[in-house]
Amino acid sequence: MEFKDAMAQRHSVRAFSDKPVSDELLDALLTTASTSPSWSNTQPYMIAIAKGAVLEELRETLPPKFDELVSLARGSKIRQIKAKLTNNGVPDGDFQPVTNYPKDLQPRRNATGHQLYELLGIERGDKAGRHQQMRENFRFFNAPVALFIFVHEGLDVYSPLDAGIFLQSLMLAATDAGLGTCAQGALALWRSPLEKHFDIPTHYKLLCGLSLGYEADEAINRFKPKRAPLDELLVPVKAPGNAV
Within a domain: 239: no
Within a domain: 194: yes
Phi, psi of 164 (to 5 degrees): -65, -40
Whole-number Cα distances in Å, 74 to 65, 68, 91, 100: 14, 10, 15, 16
The number of distinct structural domains making up the chain is: 1
Q: How confident is the model at residue 81 (pLDDT cuts 50, 70, 90)?
A: low
Within a domain: 243: no
- Looking at residue 241, its pLDDT comes to 75
Residue 107, pLDDT above cutoff 90? yes
Q: In what helix (H) or strand (E) does residue 195 lie, and over which residues does it extend?
A: helix 192-195
Residue 56, pLDDT above cutoff 90? yes
pTM listed for this prediction: 0.92
Q: What is the residue range of 213's domain?
A: 3-223
Distance CA 189, CA 95 (A): 7
Residue 244, pLDDT above cutoff 70? no
Within a domain: 231: no
Within a domain: 229: no
Within a domain: 50: yes
- Top pLDDT among 79 and 22 is at 22
- Looking at residue 78, its pLDDT comes to 73
Within a domain: 234: no
Q: Write the Ramachandran bin of 89: left for phi over 0, alpha for psi from -120 to 50, otherwise beta.
A: left
The CATH number of the domain holding residue 81 is 3.40.109.10
Within a domain: 228: no
